[in-house]
């Protein structure tokens, strides 16, 4: 029997317990031994008296729990950087395998964990930290192992994908949809990590290590959220044949340099990622052997995330010889040359409120032209009180030129309000 110590008993911890109990027979048959949660570290044991713990003991003494020689695997589902970081280090130093769902701690401390695991001849598993129930880490390690990954593009945050889908479907504004999502329990009470793009950025840092063996940090990438996206942007996107998605983008160029970033992005409505709606996550991979490939599924919630954790535990059980698995490519992740994000090229969509007078368009297109920004599409609908809404889609332009042009447009007296800009990508 393999004994498990669980740190945390929120939605995800309870999902793990439930799956281990409900699927106990199936799991035992597949791995050849029983997997048993022996102890659970929590802050307030009284909160869980009515739960079926399957015989596990609740404890507040996590330091003693981590020293228990009968525990083979520590499952960390507390979230946040501390005390999770300290507990994971202690568990690895004790020669225990670790399974975690914690994207922040893995993104920030992966190298320390990989080195500790190597020294101790154990391993750390983190399938649940990225895209919840989608087996993306294992797919990259095993299923796509024959490929040089050329690009990886993810919808890695369910909350923002849900909000963007509902703005379009229900024709409501961002704040109203966010409020409904919070009432339904689909968005956190504090959704700031999700809507600012930080949650997706942590996940991209982890995927970079697995897909590209790239040791990048959060400050190696730019990330933007969806706070400024309005119903009108989504409607204009539709009119132009696009959908807006919060994308985590990563790409390897022919000279082996790489780019990483998280941005709300317009993509063609026919693209596979455009059909990923509501709270679903998805990862779109282009590999030099497999070609284009999409994996999609639920990225959050106790049961989908629990599914990923229990699969990790089973993987450890399969490999009970205690040898480091050679398919863990990311343990050798190295520094890579990252392209300056200001040099990256993209088309851009912009929406502005402008004065509707003679020569205004001439002035604005002059500003764009000054920065070598060329216009591909321009929409101006009816104007009211000499004020008009203008939508511009540019041809491909360098980020630095576009940012300078936007800066100048924002200061132009003819621009009453600069509402939004969104990158437009064909993803080919």
Identify whether 166 is a catalytic site residue: no
Q: Which is nearer to ligand HSE, 136 or 300 (CB)?
A: 300
Report how far residue 3's alpha carbon sits from residue 320's, in angstroms, rounded to the nearest whole number. 12
Q: Which is nearer to ligand HSE, 203 or 425 (CB)?
A: 203
Contacts to ligand HSE from residues 275-304, by CB under 6 A:
299-300
Q: Which is nearer to ligand HSE, 168 or 194 (CB)?
A: 194
Please select the residue that binds ligand HSE; options are 199, 215, 220, 312, rule is CB under 6 A: 199
Backbone phi, psi, residue 174, to 5°: -45, -55
Compute the least distance from the CB of residue 153 to ligand HSE, in Å. Answer: 16
Compute the least distance from the CB of residue 374 to ligand HSE, in Å. Answer: 36
Sketch the per residue contact string, 85 through 114, with ligand HSE: x for CB under 6 A, - otherwise. ------------------x-----------
Q: Which is nearer to ligand HSE, 72 or 166 (CB)?
A: 166
Compute the least distance from the CB of residue 259 to ligand HSE, in Å. Answer: 23
Compute the least distance from the CB of residue 80 to ligand HSE, in Å. Answer: 12
Which position has the token pair 């990252």? 338
Q: Using CB atoms within 10 Å of the CB of residue 241, give its burial: 0 to 12 exposed, 13 to 18 middle, 19+ buried.
A: exposed
Compute the least distance from the CB of residue 136 to ligand HSE, in Å. Answer: 13
Sketch the per residue contact string, 127 through 166, with ligand HSE: x for CB under 6 A, - otherwise. ------------------------------xxx-------
Catalytic residue among 96, 110, 166, 203: 203
Q: Considering the rule CB under 6 A, would residue 194 count as an interface residue with ligand HSE?
A: yes
Report how far residue 342's alpha carbon sits from residue 259's, in angstroms, rounded to the nearest whole number. 11
Q: Using CB atoms within 10 Å of the CB of residue 338, give its burial: 0 to 12 exposed, 13 to 18 middle, 19+ buried.
A: middle
Contacts to ligand HSE from residues 17-76, by CB under 6 A:
none
Compute the least distance from the CB of residue 205 to ligand HSE, in Å. Answer: 13
How many residues bind ligand HSE, per CB under 6 A? 8
> Across-strand partners of 39?
5, 57
Q: Which is nearer to ligand HSE, 202 or 421 (CB)?
A: 202
Burial 132-149 (b: 16+ CB within 10 A, else e): bbbbbbbbbbebbeebeb
Q: Which is nearer to ligand HSE, 15 or 287 (CB)?
A: 15
Q: Which is nearer to ligand HSE, 131 or 391 (CB)?
A: 131
Contacts to ligand HSE from residues 208-267, by CB under 6 A:
none
Backbone phi, psi, residue 251, to 5°: -150, 140
Compute the least distance from the CB of residue 199 to ligand HSE, in Å. Answer: 5
Q: Considering the rule CB under 6 A, would residue 311 count as an interface residue with ligand HSE?
A: no
- The rounded Cα 132 to chain-centroid distance in angstroms is 10
> 393, 347 in Cβ contact below 8 A?
yes
Q: Which is nearer to ligand HSE, 103 or 141 (CB)?
A: 103
End-to-end Cα, the chain, rounded Å: 49
Q: Considering the rule CB under 6 A, would residue 307 count as an interface residue with ligand HSE?
A: no
Residues that bind ligand HSE (CB under 6 A): 103, 157-159, 194, 199, 299-300
Q: Which residues are catalytic?
A: 203
């Amino acid at each position: 029997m393999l004994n498990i110590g669980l740190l945390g008993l929120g939605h995800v911890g309870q999902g793990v317990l439930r799956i281990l109990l409900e699927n106990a027979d199936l799991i035992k048959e597949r791995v050849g031994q029983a997997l048993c949660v022996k102890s659970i570290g929590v802050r307030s044991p009284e909160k869980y008296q009515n739960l079926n713990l399957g015989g596990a003991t609740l404890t507040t003494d996590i330091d003693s729990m981590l020293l228990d020689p009968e525990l083979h695997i520590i499952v960390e589902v507390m979230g946040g950087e501390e005390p999770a970081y300290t507990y994971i280090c202690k568990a690895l130093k004790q020669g225990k395998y670790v399974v975690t769902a914690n994207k922040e701690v893995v993104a920030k401390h992966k190298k320390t964990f990989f080195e500790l695991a190597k020294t101790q001849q154990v391993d750390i598993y983190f399938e649940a930290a990225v895209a919840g129930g989608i087996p993306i880490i294992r797919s990259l390690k095993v299923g796509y192992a024959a490929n040089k990954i050329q690009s990886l593009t993810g919808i890695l945050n369910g909350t923002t994908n849900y909000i963007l889908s509902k703005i379009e479907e229900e024709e409501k504004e961002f704040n109203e949809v966010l409020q409904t999502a919070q009432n339904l329990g689909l968005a956190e009470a504090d959704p700031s990590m999700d809507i600012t793009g930080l949650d997706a950025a942590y996940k991209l840092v982890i995927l970079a290590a697995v897909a590209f063996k790239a040791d990048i940090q959060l400050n190696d990438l730019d990330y933007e959220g969806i706070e400024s996206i309005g119903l009108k942007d989504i409607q204009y996107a539709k009119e132009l044949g696009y959908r807006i998605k919060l994308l985590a983008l990563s790409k390897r160029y022919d000279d082996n340099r790489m780019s990483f970033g998280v941005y709300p992005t317009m993509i063609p409505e026919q693209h596979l990622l455009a059909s990923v709606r509501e709270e679903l996550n998805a990862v779109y991979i282009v590999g030099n052997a497999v070609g284009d490939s999409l994996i999609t599924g639920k990225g959050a919630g106790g049961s989908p995330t629990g599914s990923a954790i229990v699969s990790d535990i089973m993987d450890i059980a399969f490999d009970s010889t205690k040898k480091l698995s050679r398919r863990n490519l990311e343990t050798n992740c190295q520094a890579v040359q990252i392209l300056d994000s200001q040099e990256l090229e993209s088309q851009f969509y912009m929406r502005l409120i402008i004065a509707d007078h003679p020569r205004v368009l001439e002035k604005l297109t002059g500003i764009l032209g000054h920065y070598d920004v060329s216009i591909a599409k321009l929409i101006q609908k009816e104007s009211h009180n000499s004020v008009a809404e203008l939508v511009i889609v540019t041809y491909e332009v360098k980020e630095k030129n576009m940012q300078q042009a936007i800066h100048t447009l924002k200061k132009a007296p003819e621009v009453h309000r600069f509402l939004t800009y969104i990158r437009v990508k064909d993803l080919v």
